[in-house]
Amino acid sequence: MLFDRAWRAAAVAAPTMKLLIISMAIVSVQAAAPVFAETPPPAKPSELARVAILEFQDNTGQKNYGWVKTSLPDAINSSMKDQFEFQRAEVTGASKNLEKAKLSAGEVDAQNVNAFAEQQGLDIVIFGNFHYEAKTRMAVFTAEVYHHKGKRVIGTVVQQSKLNNDVFGTIDTISKKIVEHIYRFSLDLTEQQVVAKTEQSVRLLVLVPTWTNDAQKKAAVSELEVQKKELRKKYPAEFLTIFEFFNVKKTPAADQQQIEGFAKSRNDGAISEWLKAQKVKNAMIVFVSDNKVSLRPVVEGNSKPPVTYAVSASAAEKAGTIDAAVTASGMGVNLQKTTLKKDPGIRDRFSLAGGMFLLAPIGTGSDKMSAAPGLEIQALYRVVNLWAFQLGAAASLHGSWQKSYLKTGDEDFTLQHYTALAGPALIVPMPFYRSLEVQVLLLGGAAYSHLEKFKYVDTPLTFSGVNAAVSAQTEVRWHILLGVFVGVGASYHRIFYSGTDMSYLNTSLRAGYRF
């Protein structure tokens, strides 16, 4: 009887639990979109996205620009292949296996592209047109990117160029922007996230000579060119000497002198730290002495064991040693191409957050119940990733501490709650500002409650128990920069104690990171 009475009083004081979202790990095929795997092994052909790059429609009305029309697809393909792995689909005409197929590659436009993609079994179709503006004497290129499973054009690129050799530089720009559109659609990223992640995808290795005299400097610089040549044969990355890096990054003269000072004193550690500050993930420090070449790999600021080869070694021996240095240090993975796949991985689908909440009891009860603070840990995994909405699975852990007082104002008891909940989550990004999203969660689980200092008797008592709990929650979440976000939320919560209808409302503030 005493326990039952005490427990009913505890029920009146039961606090709300706040949700922590953890998504499930299975990706719905409806969310499938090509993505970039940061550290691939090369994907199997069946995993690669089938990308068709069609001839652009020539709207110039002049026959002498036909070369642009025919060369654009191959040029765009070559530019994309420099950084990304995908399967190009050759589609010069409609599929012969379909009786109703009447479209040729040259007839595809925004209205019939879906039928064409269906006929050809394509994941992505890149098509467009170009026209000539007499006033500016420039050609205007418009490229559109259609995603078959998304059933829509996911991006449009418009670039101007003179119709001469400048057009190939323009094609590189068009290709980069095409890939950014695919990237954004695949991962549902904000503009800032796309810029950051495409910058991260650049494969770069900086070669740094060190020396103690001019002869060693000359020999080391000469070896840099040998290494660049051998590395380019195997890795689709950019290889720069430290001097070329200075020019590209417009490094101040004072910094250049400082690095040369480190090189002369063979201060590898200082060189590594400077490169890390410049966000250079991969570097090779080269030293030539006594007819031997020493290569020390540096990966994300961490020096790795050096390897050596003789200055007089054959080209094959040098190539093998250089490759061994890259492979053993682990930087080889960083220098591989990213892979464009049919289906998305789990990047940017998992988020983890922590926060505080304040709960307030609602319902009937004779005792005065005070609001109570609490702490929570929260995670979210997005299972279905569509443009209009996303679905996830959720779970949470949190705890709260509450005091209850009698009508006389005397302290009655203290109550602690530790709750675990799980359930589905609906996430709706704002259409015109996708950094902002609304989340709705329905959760169920259990709460462990601990009651102390119950004063219906002279001697303080302690009780503990586990009861079922449910919660309905909503949150507005704002992704501030890259993966960092903040959110505010409100929820209704109930723990099922016998003999009470007490429920709780709470408000919460949290911050976290989306991986």
Q: Is the pLDDT of residue 410 over 60?
A: yes
pLDDT at 441: 95
Instruction: Give the residue, 56 or 440, on which the prediction is more confident.
Output: 440
Per CATH, the number for 35-199 is: 3.40.50.10070
Q: With contact defined as beta carbons under 8 Å apart, do 252 and 226 qualify? A: no
When the candidates are 3.40.50.410, 1.10.3470.10, 1.10.10.10, 2.40.160.20, the CATH number that belongs to 2-29+344-514 is 2.40.160.20
Q: Is the pLDDT of residue 376 over 90?
A: yes
pTM of the predicted model, to two decimals?
A: 0.41
Residues 6+ apart with CB under 8 A from 214: none
pLDDT tens digits for 428-458?
988 767 778 999 999 999 999 887 775 555 6
For 128-184, the three-class secondary structure string (H helix, E strand, C coil) is: EEEEEECCCCEEEEEEEEEECCCCEEEEEEEEEECCCCHHHHHHHHHHHHHHHHHHH
Give the pairing of strands 36-37 and 368-369.
Answer: unpaired
In whole angstroms, give the CA distance from residue 67 to residue 58. 10
pLDDT tens digits for 151-193?
788 888 888 888 777 777 787 788 878 877 776 665 554 444 4
Q: Kindly tell me the sign of the dihedral angle through the C-alpha atoms of 496, 499, 502, 508.
A: negative
Q: Is the pLDDT of residue 279 over 50?
A: yes
Residue 386 corresponds to which tokens in the numbers above? 């569509």
Query: Which residue ranges make up each domain of the chain?
Result: 2-29+344-514, 35-199, 204-335
One-letter amino acid of 473? Q
Q: With contact defined as beta carbons under 8 Å apart, do 422 and 393 qualify? A: yes
Residue 29 corresponds to which tokens in the numbers above? 């095929």
pLDDT tens digits for 76-116?
888 777 666 778 887 654 433 333 334 455 566 666 888 88
How many other C-beta atoms are found inside a 10 Å radius of the C-beta of residue 139? 23
